[in-house]
Amino acid sequence: MISSDVIRGYNDTMILYMLLEGESYGYEISKNIRRLSQEKYVMKETTLYSAFTRLEKNGCISSFHKDGEAGKRRTYYRITEEGRAYYREKCIEWQLTQEVVNTFIKE
């Protein structure tokens, strides 16, 4: 299990990644993050919804209501242009962070 302190700065990046290919809703996003991380990272509910709130406030995502499968009405999220730009920035930032930190990692 990964310490949430370390990963905190990249929760938003993961959510944006999940939305790059199309709109999605809370549970689907959280489930896919778990699956892609091979069960190594589970995003807490409150972390997920804090991120939604923050990203929506910053204009990186927008939300809307839609009837999902089985007729259940859900809040869906979709990435905006700002969101894509922010995602690219975060990717570059991570490359750099990784390079720097890697310098100090032995084994």
Residues 14 and 87: their CA atoms lie apart, in Å, by 9
Q: How many residues bind other proteins (CB under 8 A)?
A: 18
Q: Report strand pairing: 24-25 vs 61-67.
A: unpaired
In the list 31, 41, 80, 84, the residue contacting other proteins (rule: CB under 8 A) is 31
Could you say which residues in the range 37-96 bind other proteins, by CB under 8 A? 42, 44-50, 53-54, 72, 74-75
Task: By CB under 8 A, name the binding residues for other proteins.
Answer: 25-27, 30-31, 42, 44-50, 53-54, 72, 74-75
